[in-house]
Amino acid sequence: MIRIAIQSKGRLSEDSLALMGEAGIRIDEFKRKFLARAVDFPLEVLYLRDDDIPGVVESGSADLGIVGFNEVAETGADVTVVRKMGFGGCRLSLAIPKEQEYSGPQFFSGKRIATSYPNVLAKWLREQGVEADIRQIMGSVEISPAAGIADAIFDIVSSGGTLVSNGLKEVETVLHSEAVLIARKGLDEAKQAILDKMLFRFDAVTESEGKKYILMNIPTDKVSEAVKILPAMRSPTVMPLAAEGWCSLHSVVLERELWDKIERLKALGAEGILVLHLDKVID
Ligand code: PRT
Ligand code: ZN
């Protein structure tokens, strides 16, 4: 049995549970409480506030956690970052009132900066050789300049919309973050084996993201040119069709290259092109 801590309510909860679901680890939603058991995997789920997750994993009350890297950095918890999860992307940035001119990090010298991330900020200021007055605020950091509580803010930014609507502009990005899977140091062999099994499944899910399965009929004399357009994991599958002079070609393509490749394949004479959802990729 291994225990994972995930955010109970918030931006990362849905995606964390969805990833486990995709990996075939089902947790009964109706039983969502402080501690729940997976139905068909040796896993317990501990639902917590995100701020508490790094510490709980460091202390060993949970073996694993899914949390924003920003929280790991802020708490300074001594844990291993095992994987980036590919969701919850954001950055920790400094922002100032938009009408002010920004000259560089020295701008912040002697200024009041409101933040919920005092440790990450203090480290960055030290590295820049700047002394500022850090004001720790737990919520609504973005309104503090307008409220006269601070001269600048250091906060999470994703689209940047919140900054704009509060008359602020982003001037320094200090940390890029996304959800990460963390593990406590020194897992025993049995728990490591369960973690490896989870990672194998998570990787298959992440590998399939942004990819499509494509198949088509193509004149046999065009196959070698089509293969150049469609490199697959090893190489595309080519099968002769009952109709003479035609083959069926199967491969995996990156979604962002899909339309370009389809156009080039059509130009070669490809017909009956099917594009299918790819559920898992196991290398
Ligand atoms: O209750 P609990 O303590 O568990 O949750 P929380 O309120 O502290 O965290 P939550 O659910 O808001 O965020 C959890 C994690 O999601 C964060 O620690 C980040 O790793 C990640 N994340 C990704 C974000 C954002 N994007 C995000 N946009 N966390 C917060 N925001 C907020 C930000 O604070 C700001 O107010 O959204 C606003 C900015 O968004 P834009 O799009 O307007 O720039
Ligand atoms: Zn929080």
pLDDT score, position 137: 95
Protein residue whose Cα sits closest to atom 39 of ligand 1: 157
Arithmetic mean of pLDDT, 144-155: 97
Query: Checking phi first, is residue 25 left (phi over 0); if not, alpha (psi -120 to 50) or beta?
Result: beta
Q: Which atom of ligand 1 is nearest to the CA of 164?
A: 43
Q: Are residues 64 and 114 in the same domain?
A: no
| Residue 168 domain boundaries | 90-177
Where would I find the H helices in the chain? 13-22, 53-59, 69-75, 118-128, 161-165, 189-208, 223-229, 258-268
Q: Are residues 107 and 231 in the same domain?
A: no
Arithmetic mean of pLDDT, 136-142: 93
**Lowest pLDDT segment from 34-43, 165-174, 192-201:** 34-43
Check which CATH number belongs to the domain holding 72 and give it.
3.40.190.10
Arithmetic mean of pLDDT, 189-211: 93
pLDDT score, position 262: 96
Arithmetic mean of pLDDT, 172-191: 97
Mutate to test the pocket of ligand 1, among 11, 14, 93, 159 (most ligand atoms within 8 A of CB): 11
Check which CATH number belongs to the domain holding 252 and give it.
3.30.70.120
Q: Are residues 121 and 154 in the same domain?
A: yes
Arithmetic mean of pLDDT, 62-79: 98
Q: Is the pLDDT of residue 31 over 80?
A: no
How far is ligand 1, taken at its centre, from the CA of residue 89, in Å? 10
The pLDDT mean for the chain works out to: 94
Query: Checking phi first, is residue 153 left (phi over 0); if not, alpha (psi -120 to 50) or beta?
Result: beta
How far is ligand 1, taken at its centre, from the CA of residue 231, in Å? 39
Q: Are residues 267 and 252 in the same domain?
A: yes
Whether the Cβ atoms of residue 184 and residue 56 lie closer than 8 Å to each other: no
Contacts of 278 (CB under 8 A, 6+ apart): 208, 211, 212, 213, 252
How far is ligand 1, taken at its centre, from the CA of residue 45, in Å? 21
> Pocket around ligand 1: residues whose beta carbon is below 6 Å from it?
7, 9-12, 49-51, 68, 70-71, 88, 90, 142, 155-162, 177
What is the tens place of the pLDDT at every residue in 102-113? Answer: 999 999 999 999
* Angstrom distance (rounded) from CA 113 to CA 36: 40
What is the tens place of the pLDDT at every residue in 225-242? Answer: 999 998 766 678 899 998
Q: Is the pLDDT of residue 154 over 90?
A: yes
Measured from the alpha carbon of residue 65, the closest ligand is 1
Measured from the alpha carbon of residue 142, the closest ligand is 1
Arithmetic mean of pLDDT, 265-278: 95
pLDDT above 70 covers a percentage of the chain that reads: 98
Task: State the total domains in the chain.
Answer: 3
* Angstrom distance (rounded) from CA 207 to CA 15: 16
Protein residue whose Cα sits closest to atom 34 of ligand 1: 156
Q: Is the pLDDT of residue 244 over 80?
A: yes
Whether the Cβ atoms of residue 281 and residue 237 lie closer than 8 Å to each other: no
Arithmetic mean of pLDDT, 216-221: 96
